[in-house]
Amino acid sequence: MLILAYIYYNNYNEIKIDLTLGLLIFISIFVIKNVLTLLISFNVANGRFPIILFESRIELIAFGILFKLTMKY
C-alpha cells in the first residue's frame, strides 16, 4: 500500500487531477487503519476497544471516497 501511495503522490504532483488525490487519500486511510488496528489490537485482549466497529467505520469512509471518485470520473 505504501508503494501505491508513493506512485499516486508522484502522479498527483505531475498531473494535478482530483482522481489521483482521491486515490492517495483512499490508500492513506487504509494504511492509517492498519496501523491503528495493529496498535489497538494489543488492548483488545483487555477488553478496552470494540475493534470491529472501529475497522468497519474507517473502511466505510474509505470506500465512500472511492465510490464518490468513481461516480465523478
Between these two residues, 67 and 49, which has the higher pLDDT value?
Answer: 67
Residue 33 · residue 65 · CB < 8 Å: no
pTM of the model: 0.61
Output the CA–CA distances (angstroms, integers) from residue 12 to 17, 29, 67, 73, in the order listed. Answer: 6, 17, 19, 15
pLDDT in tens, 2-58: 777 788 788 888 888 888 888 888 888 888 887 877 777 766 666 665 666 667 777
Q: Which three cell numbers stand for residue 53?
A: 466497529
Between these two residues, 1 and 69, which has the higher pLDDT value?
Answer: 69
Rounded Cα distance, 32 and 38, in Å: 10
Write out the DSSP string of 36-63. HHHHHHHHHTTT---HHHHHHHHHHHHH
